[in-house]
């Protein structure tokens, strides 16, 4: 019966509406509209900025705005109110919210840095996060969760009259099946998709996408041990780096085209000493 309810949730999504992810052309099923997700993103980002310890480092903020603006321009979503902030937080993390809101923790900046500076590493992070935004991964996750909630309610109604123990067991099985069988696999799919699109965006912005491979390898070393992939929101580190390498030829084509179109995009990275 759990499989039946999961199928019902999928059918409910199927009748809601469709969208396509840019660059990958993957079909998405959407319950949440773009205007709804933008409104949610603005509200959450305002709360985060009010509560977070925003960095006062002028170098970090200037570079984040510069790199972010170039990535956003490559994303070609001028209707979004793009905003890029740096948060004083040692956690090695960055995140994006619908509508063009992106934040980087200061904890991720040392991982961005290589012998030439941190512009290219930051472009890898920004490209990945902006990719989540233009691919509407947040709205897709919200749509999936809404559909699964509907499926859960339908299952609960179908189990009325059964013993409380059996009913509770089936509902728990449905919740676990939804998480491991639907939500987590899609989360990993979103991460790999954002990796691919992120490479393209940084390339279109004039940043050599080869530097992204080095950044994600440094990230893998930083993160250390991880849970089994099937229980994780992210792909295994080795798989991720291998997939990134497979995406690289496509991204390099965009990079060559961008630099040929506008040689000024191929700017030398800032020296380390500026930050």
Residues 6+ apart with CB under 8 A from 16: 29, 30, 31, 143, 147
Structure confidence by residue, pLDDT tens digits, 127-157: 999 999 999 998 888 877 766 566 555 545 6
pLDDT at residue 4 greater than cutoff 80: no
> Edge-to-edge strands of the sheet including 101-105?
83-87, 101-105, 94-97
Print the domain residue range for 120.
2-274
Q: How many other C-beta atoms are found inside a 10 Å radius of the C-beta of residue 29?
A: 17
Identify the active-site residue in 37, 38, 83, 129. Answer: 129
The pLDDT confidence band at residue 44, using thresholds 50, 70 and 90, is very high
Q: What six digits make up the tokens of 73?
A: 């321009």
Annotation marks residue 51 as catalytic = no
Report the C-alpha gap between 257 and 203 in whole angstroms.
Answer: 9
Report the C-alpha gap between 21 and 131 in whole angstroms.
Answer: 10
Domain count, the chain: 1
Structure confidence by residue, pLDDT tens digits, 92-123: 999 999 999 999 999 999 999 987 789 999 99
Q: Strand, coil or helix: what is 60?
A: helix
pLDDT at 224: 58
Residues 6+ apart with CB under 8 A from 151: 5, 6, 8, 9, 12, 174, 178
């Amino acid at each position: 019966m759990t499989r039946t309810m999961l199928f019902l949730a999928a059918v409910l999504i199927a009748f809601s509406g469709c969208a396509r992810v840019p660059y990958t052309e993957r079909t998405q099923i959407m319950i949440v509209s773009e205007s709804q997700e933008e409104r949610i993103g603005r509200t959450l980002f305002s709360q985060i900025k009010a509560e977070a310890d925003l960095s006062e480092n002028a170098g970090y903020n200037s570079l984040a705005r510069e790199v972010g603006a170039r990535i956003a321009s490559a994303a070609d979503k001028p209707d979004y109110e793009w905003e890029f902030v740096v948060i004083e937080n040692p956690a090695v993390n960055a995140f994006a919210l619908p509508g063009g809101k992106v934040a980087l923790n200061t904890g991720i900046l040392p991982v961005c840095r290589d012998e030439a500076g941190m512009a290219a590493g930051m472009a890898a992070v920004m490209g990945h996060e902006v990719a989540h935004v233009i691919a509407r991964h947040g709205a897709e996750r919200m749509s999936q969760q809404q559909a699964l909630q509907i499926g859960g309610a339908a299952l609960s109604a179908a189990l009325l009259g059964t013993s409380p123990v059996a009913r509770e067991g089936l509902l728990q099985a449905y919740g676990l099946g939804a998480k491991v069988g639907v939500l987590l696999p899609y989360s990993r799919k979103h991460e790999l998709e954002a990796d691919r699109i992120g490479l393209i965006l940084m390339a279109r912005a004039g940043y050599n996408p080869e530097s992204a491979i080095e950044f994600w390898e440094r990230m893998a070393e930083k993160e250390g041990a991880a849970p089994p992939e099937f229980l994780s929101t992210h792909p295994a580190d080795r798989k991720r780096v291998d997939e990134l390498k497979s995406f690289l030829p496509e991204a390099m084509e965009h990079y060559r085209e961008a630099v040929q179109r506008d040689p000024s995009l191929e700017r030398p990275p800032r020296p380390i000493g500026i930050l």
